[in-house]
Structure 1
Amino acid sequence: MVAKQDGPTGPSAGVVEELLNRTARIATDWLASLDRRPVGESASVDELRARLGGPLPTGPVDPLVVVEELARAAEPGLVAIPSGRYFGFVIGGGLPAAVAADWLTSVWDQCPGFYACGPAASVAEEVAGGWVRELLGLPRTASFAFVTGCQMAHLTCLAAARHQVLRGLGWDVEQRGLAGAPPVRVLLGARRHVSVDRALRFLGIGRDSVRVVPADTDGRIEVPALRRELAVEDVPAIVCAQAGEVNTGAVDDLAGVADAAREAGAWLHVDGAFGLWAAASPAFRHLVAGAERADSWAFDAHKWLNVPYDSGLAFCAHPDAHRAAMTATAGYLVQGGPGHPRDAMDWTPAFSRRARGFAVYAALRSLGRQGVAELVERTCGHARTFAAGLAAVPGCQVLNEVVLNQVLFRFGDDRTTDQVLRRVVDSGEAWMSGTTVGAGRAIRMSVSNWQTSDRDIARALAAVQAAAVGVGRG
């Protein structure tokens, strides 16, 4: 007979309370330091390995000690991404309500795959998904999925597209796979985001099936060229358009693309990673006119909506195709039933995942329709102010028409451009990223953070001015 074993002895309720209170203090101290701290990290990767590394402990370590030492060791390697002076890539900060809801998400530890694992998490997703659909003017019947980010949103949407296109040819890809399947063409703009290509690769659609359509200097797909390409072969097609080119912010002529796709009987997918949020603003909605006519949309919440990483959204105008591409079932699962209109695992590539709906719900409720519009308009205004200010910086050339929140600029040659960028980042006053556009190096500046102020823009401009002068003297 095996003796009964007691369970592990965990920390008492009082210890847990002390740990979480201390963690909250560390977090609030970090946020309070953002305005005065350098935006970039202050420790090298090797230094961080030394601080965080070492042998795995033989026995347990007090959780309070673990958190204190983790925070102390990691702090020099943290980039102040939540700061209003962080302009790298297209990364937002965290709205206070969204951050707080994300903390609760960790504490509640719900799995929103289906209602039985936490109906509150499932219902929060239902409500938040409906709010987003309404806010962005997407079809009321569109299905949706909460995913990690735009990469998985592309995979979700393009899986639905693959299902629908092949089904039209009498091929059940979920049953028969791709071996021997009819050919499918995918038409992409020359300046699309690489995550679209990657999603296609995951879905078994290789480069030989992809046709690249020319784009203009700001990255917009050329609609006449798209029409010509669609007419080349009588083969079912998937067209991928873009709302917000990653360097310039340029938006494809979505109405023109939608017309071309509709006439050819093609599925239209929109990569709206950040730019689709322009639909929430009366001032910028015209830029994405026609987006509502697409068949699927992929975009992020951790960019312009400013919820904590990670948070992406996939919407599909054809729920049957969406569900068919994603659904799974097993005898042990508790799915469906009265009051359960959508088990979330039927719409996402994941079984187990974080309950991202809570943070999105909190962000939308805290901002409201007007607040989201104001966030989009204010950050776009900051981008225009920054671009205008660059005119006073010697040797600086703005490379794009600033239509949204992206500014692209360079200095003379590649070496000078990279030197200016390095000096700006090293100054700690702002953080921007470099890129290669065409044949030359450039600096990308993205204004995506709810905290960015006029003062932050002024500090960033001063940092660029000082860097340019310093490189000129050097």
Structure 2
Amino acid sequence: MHALLARAAELAAGYRATLADRPVAPPVDPAALRSAFGGPLPARPAPPSEVLEHLARAAEPGLVATAGPRFFGFVIGGALPAATAADVLAAGWDQNGFNAVLSPAAAAAEAVAGSWLKDLLGLPAHASTGFVTGGQAANTAGLAAARHHVLAEAGWDVERDGLAGGPRVRVVASEERHATVDRAVRLLGFGTRAVEPVAARPQGAIDVGDLARVCAAGTGPLIVCLQAGNVNTGACDDLRAACETAHRHGAWVHVDGAFGLWAAANPGTRALLDGVELADSWACDGHKWLNVPYDSGFVFCARPDVHAAAIAYRAAYLTGAGEVSGMGDLTLESSRRARGFAVWAALRELGRDGVAELVDRCCRLTRRFARALADGGAEIANDVVLNQVLVSFGGDTDALIRAVQDDGTCWLGGTTWRGRRYLRISVSGWATTEADVDRSAAAILRLAGQ
């Protein structure tokens, strides 16, 4: 086992050492890639060392350098060194993070990392923290807590009786909400028809005046979804005004802060999240701006008892069940990875100042990206307030996106915003430098010129 894990670490470290220079997404022959992994399952066992070497050879041509410094698609960063190493340890330790009986160490790591996260993000210290798989799971768990609370307030036990026959729940959200909110609404049984859209302001933040109008237009149990970090523009809702408006109408307020919630950790961007602590639940990603390995997200709830009532379950065989553990009672999985080790390691590596510097640096680099492209003739569609840039050169935007991806210097995707197609650039990685931005901008301008 020692030699096997040492070799795995050697292979992983060797790959990471190539990230600064390798094409971000080299051309791939899918058929050849599948063939390299093999045909029918062999009948005979194979030595673990042989399996490891085969896996490394087969996977190499199909690896995308998402952990590298020039991946600007989606809002994901490459895992920090300490977080990567901690995840290797976590795999070796093979801990089940369901409760403190199965892993006292995992429970302690999650408790400490959770308190650090709440402090950094400006959330109430008494809030519960669930270590989930990502933004989708965090939104689903947060909205499950909201569903439980607003229906309990109306005298309905949704966990026992379901939704049929109960009071109709209104879900109010921005017209520019993230798609994971809609999927959570589907999974929780509301149906997307339950969503009542609110107008967005020019940069994508919710129109608080229209929020008040929509909230006042009906009665009954009410959930309001707000956003910290518009997925296209980075714009943040006016959380203080929106929370106060929603609470006046008796709403539960959930904040989707998959990447934008990290703005609270940086003094230079903290004002964008003024009033964030007034909400009732929050969703955030770890494998975005904190740069921890997949899969890692967080759901926070200002009412831990509501959080547990919506999520927890009991079974006679579950040793240690019966009290809110802060672990499996707050997440949707029983057999769950001990995600807290990598989160703890990332926060310990960076410290408070390092997290602030990481967020601030990504914002500076994003502005640098926007200036370089604008100077080259591009249209920048949004105010660059965080780490998102929407770019257009006119013409066939999707052809340009494909050209950039095929070129390999950097990787970015596209989006449709307000009826137009744009290149969408997200700067989220700890390893990205000014030189990476300049090199990438030059490649985009060269390809646009062609």
Report the secondary structure of 1:186's partner residue. strand
| Range with greater deviation from structure 2 (370-379 or 213-222) | 213-222
Cα distance in 1 for residues equivalent to 2:155 and 2:170: 16
Report the secondary structure of 2:406's partner residue. helix
1:76 counterpart letter in structure 2 = P
Cα distance in 2 for residues equivalent to 1:49 and 1:188: 42
2:24–2:410 Cα contact (<8 Å) kept:
yes
| Range with greater deviation from structure 2 (285-294 or 21-30) | 21-30
C-alpha deviation, 1:430, in angstroms? 0.5
Residue 452 (str. 1) matches residue 421 (str. 2):
no
2:129–2:326 Cα contact (<8 Å) kept:
no
The verdict on how the C-alpha distance between 1:341 and 1:228 changes in structure 2, with shifts beyond 3 A counting, is closer
2:394 counterpart letter in structure 1 = G
Q: 1:353 aligns with which of 324, 336, 341?
A: 336
C-alpha deviation, 1:42, in angstroms? 2.8
- Cα deviation code 1:351-398 (max 9, x no counterpart): 11100000000000111100000000000000000101112223x111
1:393–1:468 Cα contact (<8 Å) kept:
no
The equivalent residue for 2:387 is 405
The equivalent residue for 2:252 is 267
Cα distance in 2 for residues equivalent to 1:139 and 1:343: 15
The equivalent residue for 1:83 is 68
C-alpha deviation, 1:61, in angstroms? 1.1
Residue 215 (str. 1) matches residue 200 (str. 2):
yes
Q: 2:190 aligns with which of 185, 190, 205?
A: 205
Larger radius of gyration: 1
For residues 120-269 of structure 1, the aligned pairs below 5 Å read 120-269=105-254
Q: Determine what percentage of the aligned residue pairs are the same residue.
A: 54
Q: Structure 1 length normalisation: TM-score? A: 0.93
CA-based RMSD: 1.2
Residue 440 (str. 1) matches residue 395 (str. 2):
no
Q: 2:285 aligns with which of 300, 306, 312?
A: 300
2:308–2:324 Cα contact (<8 Å) kept:
no
| Range with greater deviation from structure 2 (366-375 or 252-261) | 252-261
Question: Structure 1: which 5+ residue stretches go unaligned?
Answer: 1-15
1:158–1:269 Cα contact (<8 Å) kept:
yes
The equivalent residue for 1:100 is 85
Cα distance in 1 for residues equivalent to 2:198 and 2:4: 55
Report the secondary structure of 1:268's partner residue. strand
The equivalent residue for 1:325 is 310
- Cα deviation code 1:209-241 (max 9, x no counterpart): 210111123211111111001111122210000
1:385 counterpart letter in structure 2 = R
2:380 counterpart letter in structure 1 = V
- Cα deviation code 1:98-134 (max 9, x no counterpart): 0000001100010111111111011111111111011
Residue 424 (str. 1) matches residue 409 (str. 2):
no
C-alpha deviation, 1:18, in angstroms? 2.0
1:157–1:322 Cα contact (<8 Å) kept:
yes
| Range with greater deviation from structure 2 (260-269 or 39-48) | 39-48
| Range with greater deviation from structure 2 (322-331 or 292-301) | 322-331
C-alpha deviation, 1:341, in angstroms? 6.5
| Range with greater deviation from structure 2 (434-443 or 152-161) | 434-443
Q: 1:363 aligns with which of 343, 346, 357?
A: 346
Q: Structure 2 length normalisation: TM-score? A: 0.98
Q: 2:36 aligns with which of 51, 55, 66?
A: 51
Q: How many residues align?
A: 450
The equivalent residue for 1:9 is none
The equivalent residue for 1:376 is 359
Cα distance in 1 for residues equivalent to 2:236 and 2:148: 27
1:335–1:343 Cα contact (<8 Å) kept:
no
Question: Structure 2: which 5+ residue stretches go unaligned?
Answer: none
2:238 counterpart letter in structure 1 = D
Report the secondary structure of 1:115's partner residue. coil
1:115–1:343 Cα contact (<8 Å) kept:
no
Q: 2:6 aligns with which of 21, 24, 46?
A: 21
The equivalent residue for 1:38 is 23
The equivalent residue for 1:7 is none
